[in-house]
Structure 1
Amino acid sequence: MSYAIMGAGIGAGLAAIGAGIGIGRIGGSAMEGMARQPEASGKIQGAMLIIAALIEVAALFALVICLLISQLQG
């Protein structure tokens, strides 16, 4: 087994873990903000969804890069 393939697997796992932690923290903070200011819940929810999508795109980008590395080395 090549170190590049092993590194690609570890990188994909870390990207997924990081995205999960980031989206969880965003969701928790958004819920806290909506509980404090219910009248601003629409703006908070919109910002939360945009930031969660950006985090998910970064995680998918990392996954694609890891797959490309594993295919080029395999």
Structure 2
Amino acid sequence: MSRKATYLDSAAMESFFHIMKAEVMDEDFDTKESLIQAMTEWINFYNHRRIKIKLNGQSPVKYRKLAVQQAV
């Protein structure tokens, strides 16, 4: 973080948590373990299978791999 009370420092994570809450937390979980499992599965989906228009129709992991390959 750069300075105290700089909201742009946490904007990316706030956006991520907002999306996660909207998509995962709409279910009722019986145990803490089932909540953790649902969050873990969603994060895997978010990084590996979710397609973003901003990333040229690729998942974040595929986009990063392609960017590294092009940089070398």
With CA pairs under 8 Å and 6+ residues apart, which has the higher RCO, 1 or 2?
1
Q: Which has the higher helix share?
A: 1
Question: Which structure is larger by alpha-carbon Rg, 1 or 2?
Answer: 1
TM-score, normalised to structure 2, is 0.36
TM-score, normalised to structure 1, is 0.35
